[in-house]
Amino acid sequence: MRFEELPTPSYVVDEPLLEKNLKILNGVIERTGCRIILAQKAYALYATYPMIARYLNGTAASGLYEARLGYEEMGKENHVFSPAYREDEIDEIISLCDHIIFNSFSQLEKFGDKVRQAGKQAGLRINPECSTQEGHGMYDPCSPGSRFGVTLEHFRPELLEGVSGLHFHTLCEQGADALAATLDAVEEKFGEWLPQMKWINFGGGHHITKEGYDIELLEDCIKRMQDRYGLLVYLEPGEAIALNAGFLVTTVLDTLKNGMDIAIVDTSASCHMPDVLEVPYTPPLIGSGAAGEKPYTYRLGGPTCLTGDIIGDYSFDRPLKNGDRLVFGDMAIYSMVKNNTFNGMALPAIAIRDKEGNCRIQRAFDYTDFKQRLS
């Protein structure tokens, strides 16, 4: 099937674009000897895991289900971090994962022995209290009162026996300069205990595959930890893996006016691209301009009841009409993994485009996907 023939709404992941990102990441692995794993919270289209497995070292999970998915579908290294594990899940998690990262010393005391007895590696998340992003409290694990990671004040070195690595995750869509600043804070606060560790995990939030990212500085940061402390360095980016590698194709259902031109499309910000409202941001729309840039400006909104279900204001060369197809960019990440069926909205199909430009529908959804979760 050609792209133009896909039903709407559909997410489309473009294999060559995905592979382009994977090659960049693999270059970092090859040149430095670090390990990079996929943070499945951002992207978990597991039909593409065989390709990802050719370039990366494994998966990172946020809990039992992602851990199981990584184990079943990637089958390489499988790391997990959760702010707190449940007693009724921890055994299964340990059986599925090789690295189990704890958020507190109390969790480590509770479950650490089980991890070690199973021959798996226990890690501890630290909080270097180094905010490198402004005005982004929602995405800053170092913000005051954050529940993520042990701060120096609460660090208990006497309990570190059996802990093989430290983990931090403090960045969000950031450059290597922010990582370098974070490493300064990590070394200043926790440097004393690094020599006794086997590995350090730099978390995610590294915009490695974005144009202009300073890969050389990233590699210097990795080498710094390798050379000074003999550590194996892990990175677990999500976004960077499928950045700009996917689309969401939609159709205009109606146009109307209320002080401005409005178009209703068959996809919803609230249901199908929740980050547009949560972050918030205006996703790229192929062939369009910013509001007022081209002759015809429209507000694009979804078919739900939510007044704020607005994707954004865009301008076009021609007036929009019913049946026009619009293609949003950068829709592989934090989209499929976060969507929902609020208002009984159908979930978009998931399609994959190969290097010849052929699309195959990997999964289509229907009424049962809505109904089965409700009773």
Ligand X SMILES: Cc1ncc(COP(=O)(O)O)c(C=O)c1O
Burial class (CB in 10 A: 0-12, 13-18, 19+), 291: middle
Residue bearing tokens 């630290």: 126
For residues 62 and 101, the answer to whether their CB atoms sit within 8 Å is no
The residue ranges that bind ligand X (CB under 6 A) are 39, 41-42, 60, 81, 169, 172, 203-205, 236-240
Smallest separation, CB 43 to ligand X (Å): 8
State the first-to-last Cα distance of the chain, in angstroms, to the nearest integer: 36
Alpha-carbon gap, residue 59 to 38, rounded angstroms = 5
Q: Which residues pair with 352 in a beta bridge?
A: 13, 360
Q: At closest approach, how far in Å is the CB of 196 from ligand X? A: 23
- Shortest spacing between CB 74 and ligand X, in angstroms: 15
Beta carbon nearer to ligand X, 127 or 341: 127
Q: Which is nearer to ligand X, 169 or 353 (CB)?
A: 169
Comparing CB distances to ligand X, the nearer of 9 and 237 is 237
Question: In a 10 Å sphere around its CB, with 0-12 CB exposed, 13-18 middle and 19+ buried, how is residue 294 labelled?
Answer: middle
Name which of 74 and 349 has its Cβ closer to ligand X.
74
Q: Among residues 32 and 127, whose Cβ is nearest to ligand X?
A: 127
Residue 201 Cβ vs ligand X, minimum distance, rounded to whole Å: 8
Work out the angle at residue 269's Cα, subtended by the Cα atoms of residues 277 and 21, and round it to the nearest 5 degrees: 85
Q: Which is nearer to ligand X, 43 or 105 (CB)?
A: 43
Q: How far is the CB of 223 from ligand X (least distance, A)?
A: 21
Nearer to ligand X, 231 or 242 (CB): 242
| Minimum CB–partner distance for residue 334 and ligand X (Å) | 7
Nearest Cα to Cα of residue 61 among 100, 90, 88? 100
Question: What's the maximum distance between 2 C-alpha atoms anywhere in the chain?
Answer: 68
Q: How far is the CB of 241 from ligand X (least distance, A)?
A: 8
Closest residue to ligand X, judged by C-beta, is 204
Q: Is the dihedral of CA 184, 188, 190, 196 positive or negative?
A: positive
Q: How many CA atoms lie less than 13 Å away from 61 in the CB half-sphere?
A: 26
